[in-house]
Amino acid sequence: MYRTALARTYRPRRFAELVGQDHVASTLRVAVETGRAAHAYLFCGPRGIGKTTAARVLAMALNCSERQDGEPCGVCESCTSIWLGRTSLDVVEIDAASNRGVDDARDLRERAMYAPSDEKRYKVYIVDEAHMLTREAWNALLKILEEPPPRVVFVFATTEPQKIRQSAAPVLSRCQRFDFRRVSVSDLMGRLESVVEQEGVSADSAALLPIARRAEGGVRDALSLLDQVLSFSGDTVSAEDVRRMLGLVEEERFVELLDIVRAGDRAAVFPFVQALLDEGYDLAEFVQGLGDTLRAVLALRLDPESDPAELSAESRKTLAESGQRFTEEELLRLLVATADFESAGRFRRSAQPRIQVEVLLLRLASLDSSVELRELLGALGAEERKPEQRSRPEADRASDSSKGRRKPSRRASPRREPDAERPPSGESKATDPTGASDEPAQPEESEKEDASVAPGGTAGFDLRTVWADALKAARGSAPGGRLVGLRGATVAGFSDGELALEVPPGLAGDLENFLGDARRSASLRAELAQRLGIEAGELRFRLGDGGSRQRITAESARDLKLQRLVETDPRLREAVEILDLKLTEE
């Protein structure tokens, strides 16, 4: 017994029956009613949402002798012939995918020159997949589109209008363009319920909702999926039948995964994936469902009233409870990681999809222990901006406790204002009954290396920071706007008005000439003297190579670059010292 598919049986015959395209249907209906139909239309949008159907309904309305208010009757001989796609002298459908050449376009142009079979009728040419036409074919149609014969209408339907813009931009200005939208889940649910009722089938909303969501806005896909489910379940459709037929992963599985991620239980990932495979789930379907679930959980976390049509009441409650155990930032990171996994494309190309999914889930379960560098630097910067909240000895003790087993560093501390380091007046450091300070004694040699004390009691500044800031402020003082070789020099010490510099081999002569020229180095001397608290005339320089004459290699140059990066950023330097980090160059 012959049976027509649901997608064809319930194809709309009137503008009012178009699902989710009210903006198109109302415009075309008024145009037909008022006699203002255009000579060329361009229908754009995703597949399966009614572009070709709307073109047929337009052809029916233009040629229906019984139309009312711009709507075709849908039952007369003319309407029935057009709706079924039978051969008609006045309505011709052309598949541009197989008739895309210039000869086909010329044949269409010649046929369009003939008048309709009746003076009250219209000749309508429906060209599907119009983006497949070649540039030459479009050029052959340009003239007739600009000056068409009377009572001739062209309707071009395409899923890729950008290709028409690239190959035949002048065509767009000769057509009225209508953009068809994806149909919402609520509209698809209404259409499926109507079809189920007319078919005499029992199905509740919990069974139809997965079908509407799986269709992704396409009415034809939704009806095809319903047809498939009816072939499997018969006259009664249950949510379990839909899940088994479409291979959907149970919602409880995703809730279980969220529990694993929340607990950070990476060991549970492997048996979880094994259980999915043992139960016959498709891993690609699981990854897609995971993204949808994380999106829904985040949406409910941000707004408990969101997505009212895409989730059942039971699902909303379950996912909302799961979302309360995560922060919004954590859910966003989980969703971003899953989206990046899907967009990378490695999963679908991989010969071992199981390992790819396991790696993804391990990353999700480990996200709680990862910290971005900018967050770390931001936290350190916040402490540096508020030195008055704790005294220097307390800061040193906190730093030592976080270093753990790391050896004490001899690096100079980040530059701080002198007043912030002195205890408030009237306060003194706590001492034990014997009068000894509770600060640990420091080696005398270490104090000499780290203090970098300048005359006048200006203690606590970082000579490396002073040098870098002075160079930046004095930039442009030398001829050509360059301070010759000074960026390669490092500060070795400062005492009694003499600043000791270590320079790379071969640059000492050039630097000596520059610093010895009072005119060329005046700006740099002034900046340094101001930061060191002395007069510019008292500042002297001593150049040396630090006792190093090794040959510069690619490795040593890279290490020097990273060292200078640390020296010029106080916050990064503090992070490296406290956490004992090792910087690498990628």
**pTM, to two decimals:** 0.60
d(CA 419, CA 416): 9
Give the per-residue pLDDT at 254: 92
Q: What is the residue-wise DSSP string for 359-419?
A: HHHHHHHHGGG---HHHHHHHHHHHHT-GGGS-HHHHHHHHHHHHTTPPPP-SPPPP--HH
Instruction: Return the CATH number of 6-179, one of 3.40.50.300, 3.40.50.1360, 3.50.50.60, 2.60.40.1250.
Output: 3.40.50.300
For 409-440, b where at least 16 C-beta lie within 10 A, e where not — what string? bebbbbbbeeeeeeeeeeeeeeeeeeeeeeee
What fold, for 185-246?
Answer: Helicase, Ruva Protein; domain 3 (1.10.8)
Per-residue pLDDT of the chain (586 residues; tens, 9 = 90+): 567 889 888 999 999 999 999 999 999 999 999 999 999 999 999 999 999 999 999 999 999 988 889 999 988 888 888 888 776 788 999 999 888 888 888 988 888 888 888 888 899 999 999 999 999 999 999 989 988 888 999 999 999 999 999 888 999 989 999 999 999 888 999 999 999 999 888 888 888 888 998 888 899 999 999 998 888 887 888 888 888 888 888 888 999 999 999 999 999 999 999 999 998 888 988 998 899 899 989 988 888 877 655 677 788 888 888 888 898 889 999 999 999 998 887 787 888 889 999 999 999 998 765 555 555 566 666 655 555 454 444 444 444 444 444 443 333 333 344 444 444 444 434 434 334 444 444 444 433 344 344 433 344 567 888 888 888 777 644 443 445 456 667 788 888 888 888 877 666 666 777 777 777 788 888 888 888 888 878 888 887 764 444 444 556 556 666 666 766 777 777 777 676 666 665 5
Packed helices 570-579 and 373-384: angle between N→C axes, nearest 10 degrees: 110
Q: Which helix (H) or strand (E) holds 208?
A: helix 205-214
d(CA 541, CA 512): 9
| C-beta of residue 520 within 8 angstroms of C-beta of residue 477 | yes
Instruction: Reduce the DSSP state of residue 358 to 3 states and report it.
Output: helix
C-alpha angle with apex 416: 415 to 420, nearest 5 degrees?
165
Give the per-residue pLDDT at 434: 38
Domain residue spans of the chain: 6-179, 185-246, 251-369, 452-549
Half-sphere exposure of 219 (CA within 13 A, CB side): 28
CA dihedral 47, 48, 52, 58 (to 10 degrees): -130
Closest CA to 125 of 102, 167, 81, 94: 94
Q: Which two tokens stand for residue 316?
A: 């909303």
d(CA 209, CA 337): 27
d(CA 380, CA 566): 14
| C-beta of residue 559 within 8 angstroms of C-beta of residue 565 | no
Instruction: Look up tokens 């020159």; give the residue.
Output: 113
Q: Which two tokens stand for residue 436?
A: 């000894």
Give the per-residue pLDDT at 242: 87
Q: Is the Cα dihedral 353, 355, 356, 361 positive or negative?
A: positive
Report the CATH architecture of 452-549.
2-Layer Sandwich (3.30)
Give the per-residue pLDDT at 433: 39
For 295-328, b where at least 16 C-beta lie within 10 A, e where not — what string? bbbbbbbeeeeeeeebbeeebbebbbebbeebee
- 251-369 in CATH: which number? 1.20.272.10
